[in-house]
Chains A and B, each alone.
Chain A
Amino acid sequence: MKKLMKGNEAIAEAAVRGGCRAFFGYPITPQNEIPEYLSRRMPEVGGVFIQAESEVSAINMVYGAAGAGARAMTSSSSPGISLKQEGISYISGAELPCVIVNIVRAGPGLGGILPAQSDYFQSVKGGGHGDYHMLVFAPESVQEAVDLIYNAFDKADQYRSPVMILGDGMLGQIMEAVEIPPMKDPTTFPKKEWATDGTGVGEGRRIVNSLYIEPDVLEKVNQKLAATYAEMAANETAYEAYKTDDAEVVLTAYGTVARICKSAVNMLRAKGVKAGLLRPITLYPFPSDAIAKVAAEPQVKRFLTVELSMGQMVEDVRLAVNGAKPVDFYGRTGGCVMSPEDVMNVILEKEGK
């Protein structure tokens, strides 16, 4: 049965259903409903909830809990995610599974509390130090956010890597009808032999660590991580192609902006412009091959990347298109959101209509 739920609360409940039993966070708008909901919910399922003293501490609590074998999660919004970057780098280096939710707000600095997509670079290029990446999912709706976070803990365990859910203030605050999946049974989760659960002694003791002082050993660690990322690219790359089959103008957008673009596609089609949308669902790995394939279609004239930023994902789109077709950019920032008409007008102007 579908239930009307606020994005943040639906994300929190789906995390619990997906097996999350440890949450560490610090208040910041517009994601506060996630910790608030979980402070009530975690005790009901025998889980751990702590409001940490800072985002730095919260992510390191995640490190400790995930290192000890728990399905652990933190959530925050842009300034807080910046503070977590050190911890995310360590978590990646130590190959710990966990889930990080970023309900993005406008920056830089304290910025504003309204929706933005200006943390794309930070999320997909490795916002902390070192050669690392993580799976980054960009849901466009509350239902998709629910479905993605529900399985995010499995993916994190599978790859022994952090997984990020990249939403924005719109997704966090909107209320939509959602189907919440059933509670996963924690006894069915794979055993983590590597986890420091305290029982290890002698040969059997476990070490969670990201320090490799020997250069050739550290290089091997980096190569191993790269192999994991290649595996992610092969198995996890996800996107939606919306009316791209005959499209002459292809929009690329992710998250809530993709929904705005879908409306724009339909309005354009009503005006006789064959528009389509390619929506990355995973921002890392990026669906470059799918974009390149569309770019190679003879009828495709141009791309327009639409973002709530000054142009971040557009760089990856351009890399994927690789000069085959022109790639234009249209963005709003600061918490300002474009309307479908705005997007339509940009295209109409480019088309000389």
Chain B
Amino acid sequence: MATVFKKSKMLTDTKFHYCPGCTHGIAHRLVAEALEELGCEGKTIGIAPVGCSVFAYNYFNCDMQQVAHGRAPAAATGAKRVHPDKVVFAYQGDGDLASIGTAEIVHAAARGENITVIFINNAIYGMTGGQMAPTTLLGQKTTTSQYGRTVPLNGNPIKVCEMLSTLDGPSYIARCSLADPASVLKAKKAIIKGFKNQLEGKGFTLIELLSTCPTNMGLTPLAALDYVKNDMSKIFPLGVFKDIDAIK
């Protein structure tokens, strides 16, 4: 019988702990497949955040560090600078990257730090139980914006790709979605591009993945995917925001 699907070598056999319908699992698979396809086995250091993906160190089949909330880009910088020949990636949620860790991500990007950041934007704090995130949409109800997010109270959602692409350091910044199979395939291409740039020494890359948190969005897995497609991607348009190769 022909094998049509095989788990990537860059994933361990440990079962994911993610909720049913959560797209963290898809994101993990894409990162692992990209690393495997680029031959990064035995030459990769991953940095896990604080958030639902805190246990990512159990899932990626490579050396892993688990670091403080928001500090993944700083730890990745330290690891990469002492092992410039290794592939270093940070995997971060929106609270981790776009709230508590804004200084770290902005400056890692500004330095053009030769690392790859996988940014999971699910518009909510998953791990702590559905509080408002910096990327929560206007009107979106969360446990700390119970009447829906409003501009006077909370300001507007932060658009990370748009913001970081104004810097000179990054070599590639793209926003993709995990809401349907075609988008997932595109996301994988973007992740491969990110790691490829790193392998070629081109500097900082970030791939934002619009993701679901059905549990805290209070939606079924399918309805959560629709929310990403119909609501989130209006505020967070998909696309490539920076590509130094395209400019040339």
Which residues of chain A come closer than 8 Å to B83, judged between CB atoms?
68, 197-198
| Distance of B68 from chain A, by nearest CB (Å) | 5
Complex Cα gap A199–B54 (Å) = 22
Contact check, A21 vs B82: say whether CB atoms are below 8 A apart.
Answer: yes
Given known contacts A87-B68, A201-B42, A60 and B82 CB-to-CB distance under 8 angstroms: no
Given known contacts A52-B74, A90-B68, A205-B63, is B107 in contact with A196 (CB within 8 Å)?
A: no
A232 to B88, CA, bound (A): 34
Q: How large is the interface on A (under 10, 10 to 19, 20 to 34, 35 or more residues)?
A: 35 or more
Tell whether A264 is near chain B: CB-to-CB under 8 Å: no
Q: Are A53 and B76 in contact (CB under 8 A)?
A: no
CA distance A318 to B111 in the complex (A): 50
Inter-chain CA distance A53–B66, complex, in Å, is 21
Taking a contact as CB atoms under 8 Å apart, the answer to whether A205 and B64 are in contact is yes
Give CA–CA (A66, B75) in the complex, Å.
9
Partner of B107, one of A57, A87, A90: A57
A215 at interface by CB-CB < 8 Å? no
Contact with B65, one of A58, A72, A87, A208 (Cβ below 8 angstroms): A208
Of the listed stretches B43-51, B185-193, B222-230, name the one at the interface; the rest are far from the partner chain: B43-51
Within 8 A of B (CB), among A69-97: 69-70, 72, 86-87, 90, 94
Query: Which of B77, B106, B111 is most buried by chain A, counting CB atoms within 10 A of its CB?
Result: B77
Q: Of the candidates A86, A199, A207, which one forms a contact with B43 in the assembled complex, judged by CB atoms under 8 Å apart?
A: A199
Q: Mark B51-92 against chain A: 1 for CB-CB distance below 8 A, else 0.
A: 000110100011111111001001111111111001110000
B104, CB-defined interface residue at 8 Å:
yes
Query: How far is B79's CA from A157's CA once the two chains are assembled, in angstroms?
Result: 17
Is A202 an interface position by the 8 A CB rule?
yes
Q: How far is the CB of B83 from chain A (nearest CB, A)?
A: 5
Q: B138 on the interface (CB 8 Å rule)? A: no
Minimum distance in angstroms from B43 CB to a CB of chain A = 5
Chain A residues with Cβ below 8 Å from B64 are: 196, 205-209
Contact A65 to B63, CB < 8 A, known contacts A57-B104, A60-B71, A196-B45: no
Number of interface residues of B (CB under 8 A): 37
| A residues in contact with B111, CB < 8 Å | 50
Is the C-beta of B103 less than 8 angstroms from some C-beta in chain A?
Answer: yes
Determine how close the nearest CB of chain A comes to the CB of B111; give it in whole angstroms.
Answer: 8
Q: Is the CB of A63 within 8 A of B65?
A: yes
For the complex formed, measure the closest distance between the CB of B60 and the CB atoms of chain A, giving whole angstroms: 9
CA separation between A68 and B87, bound complex, in Å? 12
The verdict on A217 contacting chain B, using a C-beta distance below 8 Å, is no
Of all chain B residues, the one with the shortest Cβ separation from A62 is B78
Indicate whether A198 sits within 8 Å of B63 (C-beta atoms), given known contacts A57-B104, A60-B104.
yes
Q: Complex Cα distance A72/B81, Å? A: 11
Q: Kindly report which residue of chain B lies nearest to residue A64, judged by CB atoms.
A: B78
> Would you call B37 an interface residue if the criterion is a C-beta within 8 Å of the partner chain's C-beta atoms?
no
Q: Are A200 and B75 in contact (CB under 8 A)?
A: no
Shortest distance between the CB of B12 and any CB in chain A (Å)? 8
Q: How far is the CA of A63 from the CA of B81 in the complex (A)?
A: 12
Residue in A closest to B87 when the chains form the complex, CB atoms: A198
Closest to B40 in A: A198
Q: Is B180 an interface residue (CB 8 A)?
A: no
Which of chain A's residues 191-249 have a Cβ closer than 8 Å to chain B? 196-202, 205-211
A60 and B67 within 8 A (CB) = yes
A67 at the interface (CB under 8 A from B): yes
Partner of A60, one of B74, B80, B87, B106: B74
* Residue B41 interfacial (CB < 8 Å): yes
Shortest A23–chain B CB gap in Å is 10
Contact residues in B for A90 (Cβ distance below 8 Å): 67-68
Assuming A198-B87, A207-B64, is B43 touching A61 (CB within 8 A)?
Answer: no
Given A57-B71, A57-B74, also A201-B61 (CB < 8 A): yes
Partner of A67, one of B62, B79, B81: B79
Closest to A66 in B: B78
Let me know if A198 and B44 touch, CB within 8 A. Answer: yes
Given the known A-B contacts A64-B79, A198-B45, are A210 and B66 also in contact in the complex, defined by CB atoms under 8 Å?
yes
Q: Cα distance A196–B68 when bound, in Å?
A: 17
Q: Tell me if B62 and A24 are in contact (CB < 8 A).
A: no
Contacts of B67 in A (CB 8 A): 60, 63-64, 90
Give the most central of A24, A90, A196, A199: most B CB within 10 Å.
Answer: A196
| A54 interface residue (CB < 8 Å to B) | yes
Residue of A90, A205, A210, A211 contacting most chain B CB atoms (<10 Å) = A205
Q: By the criterion CB–CB under 8 Å, are A56 and B82 in contact? A: no
- For the complex of A and B, list the 8 residue pairs with the smallest distance between their C-beta atoms, beginning with the closest: A64-B78, A64-B75, A198-B86, A196-B63, A65-B78, A60-B74, A61-B78, A53-B107
Instruction: List residues of A whose CB falls within 8 A of some B CB.
Output: 21-22, 24, 48, 50, 52-54, 56-58, 60-70, 72, 86-87, 90, 94, 196-202, 205-211
Name 23 A/B residue pairs within 8 A (Cβ), A-sorted.
A24-B78, A48-B81, A53-B106, A56-B104, A60-B67, A60-B71, A60-B74, A60-B78, A63-B67, A64-B65, A64-B74, A65-B79, A67-B79, A94-B66, A196-B45, A196-B63, A198-B42, A198-B83, A198-B87, A201-B62, A206-B63, A207-B65, A209-B65
